[in-house]
Chains A and B, each alone.
Chain A
Amino acid sequence: MSVMEGRTTSALLYLDGVHVSFDGFHAINNLSLTLEPGEMRAIIGPNGAGKTTMMDIITGKTKPDEGTVLFDGMTDLTRLDETHIAELGIGRKFQKPTVFESQTIEDNLLLALNVDHSVRGTLFWRGSRDESERIDRVLETIRLTDARNRLAGSLSHGQKQWLEIGMLLAQDPKLLLVDEPVAGMTDVETHQTAELLKEINKEKTVMVVEHDMTFVRELGVKVTCLHEGTVLAEGTIDQVSSNERVVEVYLGR
């Protein structure tokens, strides 16, 4: 239903002329952005720049007033809901780590696995070796193997962030949207997270929203700076941070 006639772009994610406003406030203003397959992109911008709203639009939580949002060059995301978009292969990590606190870490990952998500499928679900192997792998990646039977609610903030990234991995999406993955982490953890994301980027396309400039620098990828819902600057971290307007916006001059 939402597949267009043929690809129109090579980009995995293509946003063009997107507008959205809440009660007269323009949260996103003529935003255009493309993400090539296999790319990792860091999005920076001051509070209220529209970073989270942009993710809301990509994942179907918010419908734009106008503009084009294409996934994989063919699929119009503005017409789909969250579930459908997730099934297409877009995973999202929230700004505030959101895990299922009253369930074990293993169950959290189990729920995230991209297997049959229908009511019937889950009602009559029986675990398979393949599934448990995948879970084991993810647990190892996020270094929570020992804690697999603990309740997610008992994890530290940083661990929750990792669990959520782990859930993204279990979901096995084509595109990962990662909102502030290192907020509240120690320097060591931040570093480890950067390594983890780079590792992930070997197979997947990633979009990271982050304030932490050290972290962004460590990622060493193309940076887009948003301001007032539109792209202010794009380029390497050095290019962007030397851009006059970016400095102006950040320092409020």
Chain B
Amino acid sequence: MTPHVLTRSLDRSATIFLVVVAGLGVLIPLSNLLLPAGSALQVPTYLVALFGKYACYAILALSIDLIWGYCGILSLGHGAFFALGGYAMGMYLMRQIGSRGVYGNPILPDFMVFLNYPALPWYWHGFDMFWFAALMVILVPGLLAFCFGWLAFRSRVTGVYLSIITQAMTYALLLAFFRNDFGFGGNNGLTDFKDILGFNVQADGTRAALFALSCLALIVAFLICRAVVTSKLGKVLIAIRDAESRTRFLGYRVESYKLFVFTLSACMAGVAGALYVPQVGIINPSEFAPGNSIEAVIWVAVGGRGTLVGAALGAVVVNYAKTYFTSGPLAPYWLFMLGALFILVTLLLPKGIVGTFNAWRESRKATEKANAESAALEDGVGEPKPAE
């Protein structure tokens, strides 16, 4: 993107967001690596891994907000793209194990050895090279999204129908990846990783670096999203969200726009998945579960759809709540709280945390302006119509 695009795309909350993410991305790894363990300000490694996971979730949330918040496409299968990116990275990590697997086979991953694979399946070739895997991380989810979107948008599948078939897509992938014959390790998935680019995945340094990289990816993803939504294309997307057929009658090829943004979003989700896998140490078909995708949508709803910052914030808040409530005496009741959170947010904060905050700020501004100019401008805050 040109610098022009960059400056245009940054408003105040976006700047704060970027500063905070960049700050955390630098400070947390430094604190983890440089300060002595046990010191009050040292961030323990397990928290670094945890925050790294949150950062990946935040990218996923951004990718969902881009299509749902700005274009009204509610994908209930975005977890599929995330998981596919994760699998591409997982395959690279599996190949890196080499002969250090339990059976010591230099080529075949362990699960293939004990399931008597004679040779590496063709689709596993090339994943020993990082660049190839990295390409696949973007290409595979992107291609799936392109094919799926090309079919769906061209035939004008919209609203709940689209949501349901994205769910069918991820469910079908879930079942497929569960199959051991599919060649991706079945239910156990891919795990027991050793190295990434020659660095031990479990080393503190690698974890800190992965965290910093996730923050960087989050920043880049955020900038891309901002650039898209603040461009004229962003206006077209909102137009499609609010009045799809009107946009068509203005001469816009709606399906191309949807396809573009859907594919872009899937690629971002794939990158998020790829960063996620080395940090949590496993990728398995349950990432395809429709429930996961729905949950990711809920992060966006909690944070505030159509705000980008809100999506990332929602991902962190909900996942932090999950981490917090699944330990300790509250553990048996955490589902009650999570469920209640979802219900209450949709009922009481329909615009999400950031959306509500923005609305509040706008209305303050409006009142002041009204007082100052004595000019009535009551309903200055246009409420985005819910996409259907």
Contacts and interface: CB of A to CB of B under 8 A. Distances in A.
- Does a CB–CB distance below 8 Å link A and B in the complex? yes
A154 B252 CA distance: 25
Contact of B385 (A92, A94, A102, A123): A102
B4 to A, nearest CB: 8
Interface stretch (A82-90, A231-239, A241-249): A82-90
Given A86-B248, A114-B251, A154-B379, A100 B242 contact: yes
A125 B250 contact: no
A102 B231 contact: no
Interface stretch (B77-85, B92-100, B212-220, B253-261): B253-261
The size class of the interface chain A forms with chain B is: 35 or more
Contacts of B380: 150-151, 154
Contact of B382 (A83, A114, A117, A154): A154
B-side interface mostly: helix
A83 B235 contact: no
A98 B243 contact: yes
B382 A101 contact: yes
Interface in A164-195: 167, 171
A91 B249 contact: yes
Contact of A125 (B232, B243, B260): B232
B250 A111 contact: yes
A123 B231 contact: yes
Given A92-B249, A151-B380, A103 B235 contact: yes
Interface in A101-124: 101-103, 107, 110-112, 114, 117-119, 122-124
Contacts of A153: 379, 382-383
Given A111-B235, A151-B381, 18 more contacts: A61-B245, A82-B249, A83-B248, A86-B250, A91-B249, A98-B246, A100-B243, A111-B236, A111-B239, A111-B247, A117-B250, A117-B252, A122-B235, A123-B231, A125-B232, A151-B382, A171-B250, A171-B251
29 contacts: A59-B249, A83-B254, A86-B251, A91-B249, A92-B249, A94-B246, A101-B385, A102-B242, A102-B383, A103-B235, A103-B238, A107-B235, A111-B247, A111-B250, A111-B252, A114-B251, A117-B250, A117-B252, A118-B256, A119-B256, A119-B257, A122-B232, A122-B233, A125-B231, A151-B380, A151-B381, A152-B382, A154-B377, A154-B382
